[in-house]
Amino acid sequence: MPPAIVAALGTAIAFAIGLTLPDADLHLWLGHRSGVTHSILPAALLLARRAWRAAACGMAAGTGLHLAADSFPNRMVGYATVKLPGLGALPAAESYAWLALNAVAALALAAWLARRLHAPAAALLLAGGFLFAGAGYLWRTDGGWPVLAIVAALGWAGWRVRRRITPPLP
């Protein structure tokens, strides 16, 4: 199988894993919303080896979407707050900041890696797949609706700005 296809498949599989990996802390001793799993750390660890960079791209995209949805709990208390090993639960404001900053960092890492690892056509196909699968995930998960609304608003604003900057073809 060509390396480009292997890389695209690795990215897609890692994306699916990244959507649910942060909640692996429910089955570990870390406590729910652990700062270990609810961060960019899992994707960053995959950057340690060149062969795993495609997986890091997908993991970052999936984890970023998960953390974006987790940034909108019903209330940021108790179970919803981020827990750091050895330090305990972060206060509400710091938990919001942790989740939001790690979501943005993970999504930025995914975009950066996608541009460098995948050919433009493959990156576009992966982005479309991520958009479709991510929207489905956000549609059915708690906190997903606000993320969908924000992404839609940013997409619309970006489209409007682009249309003003780039004149239409004659």
Q: What is the pLDDT along the chain (170 residues), one digit of tens a residue?
A: 778 778 888 888 999 999 889 988 888 877 788 888 999 999 999 999 998 999 999 999 999 999 988 888 877 777 788 998 888 888 989 999 999 999 999 989 998 998 888 887 777 777 777 777 878 778 877 777 788 788 778 777 877 776 666 666 56
Q: Is residue 30 part of a domain?
A: yes
Q: What predicted TM-score, i.e. pTM, was given to this entire model?
A: 0.82
Range of the domain at 41: 3-165
Identify any residues that bridge with 84 across adjacent strands, giving them in sequence order. Answer: 88
C-alpha pair distances (Å), 16 with each of 76, 85, 88: 26, 26, 29
* 108 lies in some domain: yes
Judge whether 77 lies within some domain: yes
All residues at 6 or more sequence positions from 134 whose CB lies less than 8 Å from its CB, including other chains: 19, 61, 65
Residue 65 lies in a domain: yes
Domain count, the chain: 1
pLDDT of residue 66: 92
Q: Is residue 152 part of a domain?
A: yes
Residue 10 lies in a domain: yes
